[in-house]
Each structure stands twice: as C-alpha cells, then as structure tokens.
C-alpha cells in the first residue's frame, strides 16, 4: 500500500505562503504543513490552522536567516553581526563544525520555538527544520530530547535516495549536498528509533526543492515506493511579492500549481495512493 504525506514547508513565513498552503490543502493534495515559529505571519498561520483542523501541523525549527525568539544575548553564538541568525545552512554548518556555536544556546532557542508553537493551541503532529538542520549530529540529539520532553512522536526523514533525480536537471553541487543530507538523515533515523520516534519510509523533494513544478511532482508520484513517503513542497500564492523579500529563487506559484493540478489529483486517485498527515504514522 502506498501512503503519501505532501508537506508544505514555511507555514507562517509570510501571508502569501499561508494562503498557498491552505489552498493546496483545500483544493489539492497537501495534508500536512510545517509551522515556522519565528515567522512574521505565524499568528495568521495558527488561526488558519484552527479553521482547518484536519490539516496536520508540524514544527519547522528555524536556525538560519530569521530572527531568534530568545533575546540576542541568550543566543549570541547563533547570530550574525546584524543580530539575525546566520544567513543559511552553509554558514551555520561551518560555524557549528568549528565549535563556534554554543549547544546550550542552541537547545534553549529550539525549546523556545517548540514552546511557542505548542502555546498556539494546535495539535502538533511532527518536527522538522528549515534547511534540515535537525539531521546534523549533535543537533539531532537536542531535537530528540526536546521531542521527548514535549511529547512529539514523529520527525521528518529528509533522506532522498542517493541515486534518485526524478528528471530534475540538478548540478553536481546540489547532488553532492543531497547525498550528504541523506547520510545525516540515515544517522538521525537510527537515533530516532531509540526514542520510538516515527518517520516516513521514504522522502522526496530535496533535489527539486523550491522548483517542484508539475513535471517533477508527477515524476515523483510515478516513482513512489510501497509504504509511507513524504514529498516536501514550498508553495506560494504570489511569487513576485515573495521573491522581492526572499532571494531563494523558488518557483512558489509553480509549486502551488503542482500540488493542485488535476493531473496529479487524478493520478493519486487512480493509483489508490492514500493521502495522510504525519499524525497517522507510528514507530512500529
């Protein structure tokens, strides 16, 4: 049997992301999303979540690019000179590997973000992270301990198969980065088992992340293995507005079109693929 979690990241980042996530849920195949506790539109996102109670809501821990929840003096090693988190995962990982990031501060900020999400009165289904930093050795342990403390029983496994490309024309650097992430995800899965944390069997959307047009989305649907798979997407309702703020070169509207396409929905029905959220996973 094939079960599929289509999870939209960055819920709460911006109102145009929030609109797209809800549209993808109501008109398409999105059944799960990841709430960014640091996002500027998190209050709006939480209200939309309450209005759509069958949409699964995860916590999208954010340690790059955004502002921290804790006072700057409490998380100083996580910040760049401008007082925000380091620019992206490459800068963060470099500082982390050099020992420049205090793990106590890291734990405190992660806990603050989890507590913030939990305080919104939502039924939290899982945990993942912006740019997949929860899979880094050392950070995985922090996340698992916090998940145990707050009763969160499911986590993303961002381990796209080493040789899977899905027709996406990625460059060598992106393919190498994907393999590195998959290796970290495999280690994180081993640790998660000790905590009885459930993860999907398969993951898709790393190579085409931010560029999940209908062609690549359909390629993934056609390649789904038996068991439970997650497809990560990043929909947005207005690419012009989002692109003027975030220099990520995401194809926001194309991703929304993919998850709401008639072709995709028809294929899911014809192949008897069951759409679920993370809350239906178990660790068995």
pLDDT at residue 283 in the model? 64
Predicted TM-score (pTM) of the model is: 0.97
What tokens were used for 129?
A: 């992270």
Which three-class secondary structure state does DSSP give residue 228? strand
What tokens were used for 68?
A: 């921290």
Which three-class secondary structure state does DSSP give residue 66? coil
Please state, rounded to an integer, the average pLDDT across all residues of the chain. Answer: 97
pLDDT at residue 282 in the model? 81
Nearest to 161 by CA among 200, 215, 204: 204
Nearest to 224 by CA among 258, 275, 178, 173: 275
What tokens were used for 250?
A: 């995401």
Task: For 15-90, list the strands marked E by DSSP.
Answer: 32-35, 56-61
pLDDT at residue 210 in the model? 96
- What's the distance, Cα to Cα, between the start and end of the chain in Å? 16
CB-based contacts of 190: which residues, under 8 Å, 6+ apart? none
Average pLDDT, integer, range 129-137: 97
**Residue 48 contacts residue 82 (beta carbons within 8 Å):** no
* CA–CA distance, 214 with 211 (Å, rounded to integer): 9
- Where helices occur in 89-228 by DSSP H, the ranges are 89-97, 103-118, 139-150, 172-194, 214-223
Nearest to 248 by CA among 5, 6, 14: 14
pLDDT in tens, 196-238: 999 999 999 999 999 999 999 999 999 999 999 999 999 999 9
Buried b (16+ CB within 10 A) or exposed e, 36-64: bbbbebbebbbebbeeeeebbbbbbbbbb
pLDDT in tens, 15-54: 999 999 999 999 999 999 999 999 999 999 999 999 999 9
**Residue 86 contacts residue 106 (beta carbons within 8 Å):** no
**Residue 231 contacts residue 217 (beta carbons within 8 Å):** yes
**Residue 105 contacts residue 76 (beta carbons within 8 Å):** yes
Does position 284 have pLDDT exceeding 70, yes or no? Answer: no
Which three-class secondary structure state does DSSP give residue 238? coil
Please state, in angstroms and as integers, the Cα–Cα distance from residue 86 to each residue in 62, 74, 83, 124, 247, following that order.
Answer: 11, 15, 9, 27, 15
Predicted confidence band of residue 4 (pLDDT cuts 50, 70, 90): very high
pLDDT in tens, 183-195: 999 999 999 999 9
């Amino acid at each position: 049997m094939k079960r599929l979690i289509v999870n939209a990241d960055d819920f709460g980042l911006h109102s145009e992301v929030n609109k797209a996530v809800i549209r993808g849920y109501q008109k398409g195949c999105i059944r799960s999303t990841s709430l960014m506790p640091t996002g500027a539109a998190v209050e709006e996102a939480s209200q939309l979540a309450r209005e759509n109670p069958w949409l699964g809501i995860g916590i999208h821990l954010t340690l790059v690019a955004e502002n921290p929840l804790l006072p700057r003096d409490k998380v100083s090693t996580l910040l760049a000179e401008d007082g925000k988190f380091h620019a992206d995962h490459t800068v963060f990982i470099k500082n982390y590997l050099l020992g420049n990031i205090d793990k106590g501060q890291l734990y405190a900020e992660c806990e603050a973000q989890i507590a913030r999400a939990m305080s919104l009165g939502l039924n939290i289904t899982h945990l993942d992270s912006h740019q997949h930093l929860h899979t880094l050795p050392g950070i995985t342990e922090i996340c698992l301990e916090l998940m145990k403390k707050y009763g969160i029983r499911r986590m993303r496994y961002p381990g796209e198969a080493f040789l899977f490309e899905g027709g996406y024309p990625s460059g060598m650097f992106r393919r190498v980065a994907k393999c590195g992430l998959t290796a970290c995800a495999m280690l994180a899965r081993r640790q998660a088992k000790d905590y009885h944390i459930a993860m999907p069997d398969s993951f898709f959307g790393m190579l085409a992340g931010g560029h999940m047009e209908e062609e690549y989305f359909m390629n993934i649907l056609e390649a789904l293995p038996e068991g439970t798979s997650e497809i990560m997407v990043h929909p947005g309702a207005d690419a012009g507005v989002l692109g003027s703020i975030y220099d990520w070169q995401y194809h926001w509207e194309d991703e929304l079109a993919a998850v709401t396409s008639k072709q995709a929905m028809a294929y899911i029905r014809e192949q008897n693929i069951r759409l679920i959220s993370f809350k239906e996973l178990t660790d068995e």
